[in-house]
Structure 1
């Protein structure tokens, strides 16, 4: 039974709701106006203590710290030469007792968003006015995945025996990538077949399998609770970031990291890690796009009509995807948007539209778009299975002919195979090609024809299909938007949106009427937090949404794939994937 409110009671309730909203908005404005909290942490002599706070750089001259999606960013902090933290940093090289690695943490929006990383180098300079500065460069903590290898078998000793030749793992993307990372964190930090950092410290032997002592941990879902896109991971002593790069890109999964500072009362979200050391690095993977969810997500729209939701479905042998538009059934409206103190973006129903207008906090914007590339992708170059079958057939036929017609000479087939096979190797079933008829029709009569995609040595294998899909995605039409936002309402980076979240962006002036301006919906690729006291520039964010890969030339694309090609050359021998 519902109780009807009188007009006076209803007015009072509305006024209370308005006042509560005003308090929340003022709290958000206060968090946004508060300068970032920059802290430097030192490694202690006793690892059990965790990181030790060395100082707060509250009066830095400038700083720039980019949050990049699935890529390690490089941040810079500029301090006066006489700053106590600058003096400390300059003493480290000549201090034998000092631990050389320095950790930085940059907190904003009340600590809801945090950038952290290791010192790469510092420079001590003097400007034209004779003022000395120290500029320290840091690389964020995603770099740990670049310096962790994936051997064929993490459970076996590297220098003694590694079977099978290639590490493979099939499963949902988030679970598979997380399991690959955890296995190798366990291999390295658990001292399984490895010596501890200090072999003479007995506690490092006995506590090796206690994750509370690890410097890097990972939070992951169970196999059956992971709805992300299935994938196949393969590695043979490759860096972890390269192993999972294509899979998480394809599934539109984002890697998040956060150092847990127990001195601030923070706790770990990893089960079993109840008493971690201060400053432990916690990794996690999230599907923030909702692109492959059953309920779909916003992919396009207009300023007047809002988002149009679509469901991604596979076509053409799991190589291409098509967007099937669905009705915007409000019964699917996520309940999170009605919860108190809940902030963020539900992937299935994005809500943030960054409008380029004189009333918004977007100070500058840039939008780029490029059509798709070639319509056909070619992969392969060899087929070890076909070559082996042909060589076996030549040997068998030649040996039989030699035995019956050459007086029992049974090596004729081996000799023939030695002469003939160099001419036939890599000629039979050695290539795969896929042509997208839909792309050709969409581009028109004049279109680029084909390109070779590296990443699959053997044709007609699983890796060949994955390489074709990679080539199609890399040359798909894409838009990229870039905007500079002041730290103000209504959307606060770090509170309402993070890297990987799906947001929309409109550009004023694209059409004659502002109500028909199209919405470009992309994932946030980078959020750059920067400030410069010398130029009297307060802290604000520069946000980049969308990748714009389609704008790359073939030379740029080849350069980007060079590191992956070099890693592929290590996989010499028979590879089933």
Structure 2
């Protein structure tokens, strides 16, 4: 809490007041971290069953845009352990077979469903239960995007669901349409058909178990979110959204709405236990943010833009730096995406491990294709048949166009407008004369189409210059990890660091990619962090192949037209 300084006091008294306020604030933050995590167990209908306090050990992982595993170890004699193990009893008591857990600590909340339990007895005779959970992001891997969510499964027209617009609006709208399908039960019986109200409860979002935070098209457009095109033929929302989230550097925000929470948005009318899904931009790369700099000159700033050919991205220098007024408010903890607050110097005691990897761009030309653009083969076939039909009739031997075309097709098919080659001029200028030349992306698609544009972009992205920073950082050394105003930064936020021994003293900025909350018996709970994209440090060929598999799946969907 901010404390006003009484300037009528003497200088010594003012300093004492500031010191007392500083110590009080430090004690307040220490008390927040000393408070054990609040662990609640609910049944599948969100009825509170147990508060867990005497666990042996717990670990909760929360990666950005993916499911995180959770594990809790309990003495098997504890009531909570017996409850988790007794799936048959839960079913008989009408409590459902599922168990929902919510873990609150430092403003953050990890929640998820029970995945499985194990009971082990060691050589001393001690029996313990190991409960495994999956975070609530897993829900998004079990929500499929139908080709047409308003029609029954046996009639799906058009064959592919497509939606274009600002990325956040596109992804949330696609999810909302399929949540409507799930809750309205238009083509399926409700869970309790004999309960009359269950036939109409789906029309009220207040009854939904998973909801989407509202976002209008114009608001997302005004926010500068990159445009995206989503396509799905019965893919899960996670699979359909992964590349869009990655390219636009967006983060999925999910949080269970429980008793005592403020409404997720003004006027929200939701049932307690509802999972609220939102997508947030914590990168700021398309509106201008810090992208580097040195310890001497401060941050450099840039805005990511599309180049004129739409294949390459450029970083336009931003000359003005934002003034973050919140940083000047005593007691307010946060980080702004345009001007990251957190900086870890090379000798920071909070950094337990750091790894930095960089690689220059490879290749200045991207090639792909294999099949002629739509209409080319058909036009050539029509010409061959038409010409030889005329010739055959003139020679009074009948229409021979079809026969000739069947033979000629092997010579002309997929030879005209079947391949596309794009030179990356900005990369060529940066690479010098001695360089790798071209890279072929094996897509098997049609050239000069939207799909080929996607493939070229993917090939350009896979062969780009990249820098990766992977760090393990301790909480509270010196920055505090927390959400809801109880920490300097949280998952997805940008932080800066510097490589130890780097004479250029260059600053590197990356996002928090994973949080892990751990606690052992007799120890205080703490967060461990991973900063940077550790997948960038995998084998580049493996990463490229994985990305191209996703591209091929997209093209397969688009090719069904």
Structure 2 residue 209 is matched with structure 1 residue 221: no
- CA offsets, 1:277-316, max 9 Å, x none? 22110000011111001xx100112233332211222215
Deviation at 1:217, TM superposition (A): 0.4
Deviation at 1:11, TM superposition (A): 6.4
Residue number in structure 2 paired with 1:47: none
Provide the rounded CA distance (Å) in 1 between the counterparts of 2:213 and 2:520.
Answer: 36
Distance 1:258 1:563, change over 3 A: farther
Aligned length: 546
Distance 1:406 1:85, change over 3 A: farther
Residue number in structure 2 paired with 1:509: 501
Provide the rounded CA distance (Å) in 2 between the counterparts of 1:510 and 1:464.
Answer: 41
- CA offsets, 1:57-114, max 9 Å, x none? 22222222122111112122222222222111111046542512211212110xx211
**Structure 1 SS opposite 2:199:** helix
Whether the 8 Å CA contact 2:146–2:232 is kept in 1: the answer is: yes
TM-score of the superposed pair, with normalisation by structure 1: 0.86
Residue number in structure 2 paired with 1:149: 144
Whether the 8 Å CA contact 1:63–1:77 is kept in 2: the answer is: yes
Select 1:366's aligned residue among 343, 355, 360.
355
- CA offsets, 1:237-269, max 9 Å, x none? 2211122221221111111100001xx222442
Residue number in structure 1 paired with 2:73: 78
1:282-301 equivalences under 5 Å are 282-293=276-287, 296-301=288-293
1:99-178 equivalences under 5 Å are 99-109=96-106, 112-160=107-155, 162-178=156-172
TM-score of the superposed pair, with normalisation by structure 2: 0.89
Deviation at 1:548, TM superposition (A): 4.6
Select 1:476's aligned residue among 459, 464, 479.
464
**Structure 1 SS opposite 2:39:** strand
Deviation at 1:478, TM superposition (A): 2.7
Residue number in structure 1 paired with 2:531: 545
Residue number in structure 1 paired with 2:512: 524
Deviation at 1:521, TM superposition (A): 0.4
Deviation at 1:344, TM superposition (A): 2.3
**Structure 1 SS opposite 2:101:** strand
Structure 2 residue 247 is matched with structure 1 residue 250: yes
Structure 2 residue 345 is matched with structure 1 residue 350: no
Whether the 8 Å CA contact 2:60–2:517 is kept in 1: the answer is: yes
Whether the 8 Å CA contact 2:479–2:488 is kept in 1: the answer is: yes
Provide the rounded CA distance (Å) in 1 between the counterparts of 2:490 and 2:265.
Answer: 21
Whether the 8 Å CA contact 1:60–1:77 is kept in 2: the answer is: yes
Provide the rounded CA distance (Å) in 2 between the counterparts of 1:6 and 1:121.
Answer: 61
Distance 1:63 1:444, change over 3 A: farther
Provide the rounded CA distance (Å) in 2 between the counterparts of 1:182 and 1:464.
Answer: 29
Whether the 8 Å CA contact 2:462–2:544 is kept in 1: the answer is: no
Residue number in structure 2 paired with 1:436: 424
Distance 1:501 1:187, change over 3 A: same
Structure 2 residue 472 is matched with structure 1 residue 496: no
**Structure 1 SS opposite 2:516:** strand
Residue number in structure 2 paired with 1:458: 446
Residue number in structure 1 paired with 2:28: 27
- CA offsets, 1:325-361, max 9 Å, x none? 23344xx313333456643222112121122325x43
Residue number in structure 1 paired with 2:375: 385
Provide the rounded CA distance (Å) in 1 between the counterparts of 2:440 and 2:196.
Answer: 54
Whether the 8 Å CA contact 2:25–2:331 is kept in 1: the answer is: no
Whether the 8 Å CA contact 1:125–1:134 is kept in 2: the answer is: yes
CA RMSD of superposed structures (Å): 2.8
**Structure 2 SS opposite 1:208:** helix
- CA offsets, 1:389-414, max 9 Å, x none? 3233333333333344345x34x333
Whether the 8 Å CA contact 2:470–2:534 is kept in 1: the answer is: no
Whether the 8 Å CA contact 1:372–1:550 is kept in 2: the answer is: no
1:230-269 equivalences under 5 Å are 230-261=227-258, 264-269=259-264
Whether the 8 Å CA contact 2:231–2:554 is kept in 1: the answer is: no
Provide the rounded CA distance (Å) in 2 between the counterparts of 1:241 and 1:361.
Answer: 33
Provide the rounded CA distance (Å) in 1 between the counterparts of 2:248 and 2:555.
Answer: 26
Provide the rounded CA distance (Å) in 1 between the counterparts of 2:50 and 2:341.
Answer: 39
Residue number in structure 2 paired with 1:557: 543
Residue number in structure 1 paired with 2:57: 62
Deviation at 1:568, TM superposition (A): 4.1
Provide the rounded CA distance (Å) in 1 between the counterparts of 2:53 and 2:470.
Answer: 29
Provide the rounded CA distance (Å) in 2 between the counterparts of 1:231 and 1:364.
Answer: 36
Structure 2 residue 561 is matched with structure 1 residue 571: no
Provide the rounded CA distance (Å) in 2 between the counterparts of 1:245 and 1:24.
Answer: 41
- CA offsets, 1:424-456, max 9 Å, x none? 443332233333243345445554444444668
Whether the 8 Å CA contact 1:118–1:140 is kept in 2: the answer is: yes
Q: Show structure 1 runs of 5+ residues with no match.
A: 45-50
Whether the 8 Å CA contact 2:165–2:229 is kept in 1: the answer is: yes
Select 2:309's aligned residue among 289, 305, 317.
317
Provide the rounded CA distance (Å) in 1 between the counterparts of 2:443 and 2:265.
Answer: 34
Whether the 8 Å CA contact 1:186–1:192 is kept in 2: the answer is: no
